[in-house]
A and B are shown apart, each in its own frame.
Chain A
C-alpha cells in the first residue's frame, strides 16, 4: 500500500458498486489515493469514470461499498466540509445571468468566505493568484458566457484553483482545448501537484497526454478497474486493443 499506515489515504474507495436498475455502472471498485499523488482515470466511454468521480466527491451514494475522504466517510461529511477538501472542475457549466470572469473565479472562495461578511482580503488574494496561475488574466472583465469553450474551461480550472483544496478532481479538463492549451493545462496540473503538493485526480480521454503527464493511470472498463499502475504497465498494446478496440499503433506513447 502507498502511504504510511498512520496517515489515511486522501481518498479511499472500498468495494464500490453502483447500479441503476439492472445496469451495473460500477462493480466492486477499490481505489486508494495517497496525498500528493497525480492520477489519471482512463477508459472507454461508458466505463463508469464520471460515476466514480461522483461517488468519490459524495454526489452519488453507491449501491454497495464505502467512500472515504480524508479518513471519514463522505456520507457523514457536510457539503461544505467536502468543498474545503476537494474542488471539482466540471466538463461544462452554464450561467443564467451575465457574469464576469473574475466573478466566476470568485465563486471558488464560497466554501471559505465568511457566511455573513462575505469575501475577505485573503479571499481576494486567492482569486488573484488563481487567475494568474491559470493564465486567464487577459479575460478579466468579460462575460464568461461570451467566451469560447476552451476559455470557459480554463476559467473553471481557475475557480477550482481558487478553492485551494488538497485534492483537485477534473472531469475531462482538456476536452474543449486546442493542443497548445491541452499541454499548458497538463503542465499546470503537474506544477500544482509538484510545487503545491495538490493531489490530482483527472479523467482523461487522451491516452498520450495521460501517459506523458501522469505517473499513475487507473484504467476502467465496464465498471471495473482492469489496470492500475505506471503508464507502461497499464497501456500495453494488447490491453489497448482489448479495452479500446483500436490498433495500438494509433496511440503514440512517449517514454
Chain B
C-alpha cells in the first residue's frame, strides 16, 4: 500500500506542477486588469486636446472613486474627460467584453473554433435593421436612442430566433443544423442589406459606417442602455460555465455529465445573442474581437469556461479600448479596420506558434 500511496502523491505533485487547471489564473486576471486600467487612462488622455495622464487619473479618481489626489484642473478639461472621452472608452470596453464573451460562448456551444458572435445571423440581422432604419424617412429619437439602435438590436435578435426555430425543424443533428441554417438565413439577410444599400443613395455612407463599426457616437445614455444587457448576459453565461465545460466532449457526453443539453443550449444561445445584439446596437459591426480573443485566452488558461469567460471579458474589453485609441490616433478610421489589421496578423502568428493544431 505504501507504493500506492507514494505514487498517488506523485500524481498529485505532477498535477500541481502541470497545473491541473492551469494555475496562475490570478496572474492572468491581474494582468488583464492592469491592461484595462492603462487603456482607460491612455484612452481618456488622448485626443485633439491632450490631457496629461496625471490629470486624467486625478479626475477619474475624484469623479469615479471620490478620491482627492490634490491636483487642479479646468472645468473644460473635466467636461472633455467626463462627457466625451470617458463614455467612449467605456463603450469600447463594454462592447469588447460582450463580443468576446459571446464569441467564447458560441464557440463552446457550437463546438466550433471558427464560430464568432455573428455566426448565427446576429450581424446580418443587425445590419439589415440598421439599414432599414436609415432608409425610413422618419426620425424618432428617444433618450438619444434613434431608430438605428433599436432596429439593429431587434434585427439581431429576430434573426437568431429565426435561425434557432428553423434549425429545430430540420432532421439534421442540432449543431450542424444551427450552423447551416445560420449560414442560409445570413445569406438571405445579406441580400436584403445589399438591396437596401443599393436603394439608399446619399444615406449609403451612414449604412457603411455602421457596417465598419465605430465609437464616434458614444454617450452615457447609449452606454447606459447597453451596459446592463451586456453585463447581465455575460454574468448569466459565466454562471452556466459548467454546461459549456460539459459540451467540450460533445453533446451526448455532456448529457452523461449532468448537463440538460437542449435547455442549456437554448439559454446560452439567448444570452450570447442578447450580449451581441446590445453591443452591435451601439457600436456597429466590429469583427475579429469575438473570434480571436477566446482563442488567445484558451492558449493561455486552457479550455475551462470558468476561466475562458472572465479572462476573455477582460481581454475583449482591453483589446477594443486599445483598438479605438489606435483608430483615433490614425485620424478616426473605423475601429473595425483596426481590429482586423492588428488582429489578423497576430492570430496568424499565434496559429504558427501553437503546438497543438486546430482541428476543424
Interchain CA distance A96-B8 in the complex, whole Å: 30
Contact A127 B249 (CB under 8 A): no
From B15, B253, B302, B303, A93 is in contact (CB under 8 Å) with B253
Contact B258 A131 (CB under 8 A): no
**Smallest CB separation, A36 vs chain B (Å):** 22
Contact A102 B20 (CB under 8 A): yes
Interchain CA distance A118-B310 in the complex, whole Å: 14
Q: Which of A7-15, A65-73, A108-116, A217-225 contacts B (4 or more CB under 8 A)?
A: A108-116
Secondary structure dominating the interface of B: helix
For B250, what are the chain A residues with a Cβ–Cβ distance below 8 Å?
90, 93-94
**Smallest CB separation, A139 vs chain B (Å):** 10
Q: Which residues of A contact B (CB under 8 A)?
A: 57, 59, 78-84, 86-88, 90, 93-100, 102-104, 106-108, 110-111, 113, 115-116, 118-119, 124-125, 127-129, 131-132, 137, 140-141, 143, 145-146, 163
**Smallest CB separation, B8 vs chain A (Å):** 5
**Chain B positions 1-46 with a Cβ under 8 Å from a chain A Cβ:** 4, 7-8, 10-12, 14-15, 18, 20-22
Secondary structure dominating the interface of A: mixed
User: Per-residue CB proximity of B220-257 to A under 8 Å, as 1/0?
Assistant: 00000000000000000001011001101110110111
Interchain CA distance A99-B248 in the complex, whole Å: 9
Interchain CA distance A98-B300 in the complex, whole Å: 11
Interchain CA distance A255-B248 in the complex, whole Å: 43
Contact A57 B256 (CB under 8 A): yes
From A80, A83, A129, B8 is in contact (CB under 8 Å) with A129
Interchain CA distance A93-B255 in the complex, whole Å: 13
Contact B14 A137 (CB under 8 A): yes
**Smallest CB separation, B26 vs chain A (Å):** 14
28 A-B pairs, CB-CB below 8 angstroms? A59-B256, A78-B258, A79-B255, A79-B261, A82-B258, A84-B258, A90-B252, A93-B250, A95-B249, A95-B303, A96-B359, A97-B248, A98-B354, A99-B302, A102-B15, A103-B21, A104-B248, A106-B20, A110-B257, A110-B258, A115-B239, A115-B242, A124-B20, A125-B12, A127-B15, A128-B12, A131-B15, A163-B257
For A80, what are the chain B residues with a Cβ–Cβ distance below 8 Å?
258-260
Interchain CA distance A108-B20 in the complex, whole Å: 13
Interchain CA distance A216-B175 in the complex, whole Å: 39
Interchain CA distance A107-B302 in the complex, whole Å: 13
Q: Which of B74-82, B107-115, B149-157 contacts A (4 or more CB under 8 A)?
A: B107-115
Closest 5 CB pairs of A and B: A83-B258, A80-B258, A98-B356, A111-B258, A141-B18
Question: Is B328 in contact with chain A by the CB < 8 A criterion?
Answer: no
Question: Is B304 in contact with chain A by the CB < 8 A criterion?
Answer: yes
With A79-B255, A115-B239, A124-B20 known as contacts, the answer to whether A107 contacts B249 (CB < 8 A) is yes
For B8, what are the chain A residues with a Cβ–Cβ distance below 8 Å?
128-129, 132
Contact A96 B21 (CB under 8 A): no
Contact A90 B253 (CB under 8 A): yes
